Chains A and B, each alone.
Chain A
Amino acid sequence: GNSVTQMEGPVTLSEEAFLTINCTYTATGYPSLFWYVQYPGEGLQLLLKATKADDKGSNKGFEATYRKETTSFHLEKGSVQVSDSAVYFCALSDGRFQGAQKLVFGQGTRLTINP
């Protein structure tokens, strides 16, 4: 079945460092890909998405490019801030499921940014 694999965490960086969180997927067809972020004590928030190959999603300085040839959707940010500390989830849509979309999530990567 469809699956998502994220790099193991936790990841700890200093402020203004470059961030990459790796995400690869296994899927049939052409899924949409997503990154969600979860701040402490909160639910998940959509960070960015891409719906077809070579699309680049971007938001709040974060970027990810849908790479079909490598089945990857790595999250990057050029200069992280303390406020970026959170858990990041990569996800893919499992195709339309009778009108609802079923998302498959990776295990999450905890990111801590030190001042």
Chain B
Amino acid sequence: ETGVTQTPRHLVMGMTNKKSLKCEQHLGHNAMYWYKQSAKKPLELMFVYNFKEQTENNSVPSRFSPECPNSSHLFLHLHTLQPEDSALYLCASSQDFYGYTFGSGTRLTVV
């Protein structure tokens, strides 16, 4: 139990589909993050939320749309994705400088 739960663990979607990734943290942290992990590339920060307000959008294409309804929940809405968007999507949360707590990730495959 990491304290950060991501669902689903695996997702296969067509390029015309719309799907959502969910992240939930039970740690009382104030900040939540979406990262993309692709093969042979460094982790890419996508979005940052602090007290449910978005504080960074790291030049992410509009086909990725985040939503943070409260400090405990974070969503990533997906639509009209490309095959190169296939990756492991990681959610994390943090409080101050103690480092991130990561979820187990959603393995996304776009076909």
Contact = CB atoms under 8 A, between A and B. Distances in A.
A30 B30 CA distance: 23
A43 interface: yes
A108 B44 CA distance: 12
Interface in A87-106: 89, 93, 96-103, 105-106
Contact of B43 (A89, A93, A96): A89
Main secondary structure of the interface of B (DSSP, over half): strand
A100 B99 contact: no
Interface string A24-64: 00000000101010000111111001010000000000000
B7 interface: no
A46 B99 contact: yes
B50 interface: yes
For B45, B55, B99, B100, the residue with the greatest tally of chain A CB atoms inside 10 Å of its CB is B99
Contacts of A49: 98-99
Contacts of B6: 43
Interface size of B as a range: 20 to 34
Contacts of B104: 41-43
A43 B42 contact: no
Contacts of B51: 99
Contacts of A96: 97
Contacts of A36: 100, 102
Contact of B100 (A42, A46, A51, A106): A46
Contacts of B59: none
Contacts of A20: none
26 contacts: A32-B97, A42-B105, A43-B6, A43-B103, A43-B105, A44-B92, A44-B100, A44-B102, A45-B2, A45-B102, A49-B99, A93-B97, A96-B97, A99-B51, A100-B30, A100-B48, A100-B49, A100-B55, A101-B96, A102-B48, A102-B56, A103-B45, A103-B100, A105-B42, A106-B42, A108-B42
